[in-house]
Every structure is written in C-alpha cells, then in structure tokens.
Amino acid sequence: MIDRVRNLVLRTHGPGSDADDERIRRDGYPGRGTVVAVRPTGRTRRGRREVDLTLDVYLGRSRTFRVAIRPWVLDAEFARLQPGQAIPVAADHAEPGHVVLAFDMDEVRSIAGLGPFAGGPGGPIVRPEARDEREADR
C-alpha cells in the first residue's frame, strides 16, 4: 500500500515520452515552485538525468502545498534546481497536485499580461497633482 502511494506521489516520467505532461505544460495552471530538496537518482537517459525533487508549489489564489516529483531534466535545468530557487511549474486542472516542471514558460510574459497591479505594464502613470490640475482646468 505504501509503495502504491509513493508511486502516485513520486511519478517517474520518461524524457519527452509523456503526452500527459505536455498537456499539463500547455493547458495547466501556471505556477511557481520553490525548490526544497533535490537529489539525483543516478539514472540517466538520452542526455537527461532523473532527480528526486521536493517543491513548495504556489498556483495563485491557492495556498502553498508541498509536492515530491521525479522528473527527467537536462544539465542546464538541473543547474537551476537549487534549494530556495523559484522555478516555473504547471499543474493539472483535474488534479492540481500533479505538478510538472515548465522551464519553457516565460515568467515575465505571464506577469506582464496581468497588468499594473501584478507588476506588468499598465497605462500611463497619472500623478495625483496632475489629476488635480486637469480637473481644475475643466
């Protein structure tokens, strides 16, 4: 029973072979994962290495939750997996606890689309004193 639960939590995904992971990256909830722990398993395949990865995940509007996954990553991706480092993730709409790494997400673009309140571009800045002057001219 414990092994079945562990297998559900620590999903092993082959490099580029899981259409479900690609669907989640494309259509899932975008979020941010903060690396808690990372440990290479020692397995490699097609230029990728498998790692045990623990993340604190934040999906916006939801609370932070911890997830353990076992992804296959390139060396450049592995270098970004440092404890305390934030990385882009995506979560399944049907099962938000199913999280995949989404290094291809452009975090700056996704924030910019949210407007000035989220740190993205907004309209022109109107200073309060300029607004008062315009109203006085009317």
Domain ranges of the chain: 2-121
E strand intervals along 28-133: 29-45, 48-58, 65-69, 72-73, 86-91, 99-101
Rounded CA-CA distance 101/32 in Å is: 9
Amino acid in the structure at residue 37: A
Task: Indicate the CATH number of 2-121 among 2.40.50, 3.40.50, 1.20.5, 3.30.70.
Answer: 2.40.50
Predicted pLDDT at 105? 76
Rounded CA-CA distance 91/69 in Å is: 12
Which residue, 128, 113, 33, is CA-closest to 71? 33
Residue 121: pLDDT above 90?
Answer: no
Summarised one tens digit per residue, pLDDT across range 16-46 is 447 888 899 988 889 999 999 999 999 999 9
Stated pTM of the model: 0.63
From 2-6, 18-22, 111-115, 120-124, the region with the lowest mean pLDDT = 2-6
Summarised one tens digit per residue, pLDDT across range 63-102 is 889 999 999 999 999 999 999 999 999 999 888 889 999 9
